[in-house]
């Protein structure tokens, strides 16, 4: 199956006990995303689609920006509603604003402001239906915010050809060991 577009999602920083961007865990997560993306790019990936949430999606944006130096890959930021960042801390709002300015495409899914959790369901459904697959940082036994996306993707996969690439803690632990062996992190 040719994958032209994927969405990337996963945990928010606090769900991973990450409270600063300099955390080694962020380095490992970014490297895991980079490795998955490189494989997909070699197979023809053209678009990465995210909603711009903090955590995995923001880190994925950073990874794509670096990969754009060598590869032809674009990134779209499609938040579920207008001004999703308004409840975030000021520094996170600034990062988000920079992100949407640097994106190859930006457009909120609706012109409304936040109205309720249903908007996240609509966003998840749209992301799954409009892409060929997803890369998700997720632990089934942990659940958390990506659980809803994951379950919807599994349900969609029953009737559609949809690539579901899960990165879990075992993958990250293995990668961390590899990176330590190669002295890529302290």
pLDDT, tens digit, 9 for 90 and up, residues 100-159? 999 999 999 999 999 999 999 999 999 999 999 999 999 999 999 999 999 999 999 999
The verdict on pTM exceeding 0.85 is yes
Q: Is residue 42 part of a domain?
A: yes
**Left if phi > 0, otherwise alpha if psi is -120 to 50, otherwise beta: which for 141?**
alpha
Q: Is residue 186 part of a domain?
A: no
Q: Is residue 132 part of a domain?
A: yes
Report how many domains make up the chain.
Answer: 1
Q: Is residue 49 part of a domain?
A: yes
CATH of the domain at 154: 3.40.50.450
For residues 67-96, give the mean pLDDT.
Answer: 96
Q: Is residue 120 part of a domain?
A: yes
Rounded (10°) CA dihedral 173, 95, 153, 37: -60
* Res 1: pLDDT: 65
**By residue range, what is the domain housing residue 133?**
5-181
* Res 102: pLDDT: 98
């Amino acid at each position: 199956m040719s994958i032209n577009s994927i969405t990337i999602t996963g945990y928010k920083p606090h769900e991973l006990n990450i409270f600063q961007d300099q955390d080694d865990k962020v380095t490992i997560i970014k490297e895991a995303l980079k490795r998955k993306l490189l494989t997909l790019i070699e197979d023809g990936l053209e678009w990465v689609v995210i909603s711009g949430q903090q955590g995995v999606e923001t880190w994925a944006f950073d990874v794509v920006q670096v990969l754009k130096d060598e590869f032809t890959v674009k990134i779209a930021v499609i938040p579920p509603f207008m001004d999703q960042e308004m409840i975030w801390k000021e520094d996170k709002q600034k990062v988000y604003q920079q992100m949407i300015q640097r994106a190859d495409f930006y457009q909120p899914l609706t012109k409304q402001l936040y109205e309720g959790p249903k908007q996240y369901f609509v966003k998840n459904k749209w992301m799954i239906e409009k892409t060929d697959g997803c890369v998700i940082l997720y632990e089934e036994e942990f659940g958390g915010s990506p659980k809803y996306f994951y379950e919807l993707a599994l349900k969609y996969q029953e009737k559609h050809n949809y690539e579901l690439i899960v990165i879990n803690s075992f993958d990250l632990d293995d990668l961390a060991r590899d990176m330590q062996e190669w002295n890529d992190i302290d």
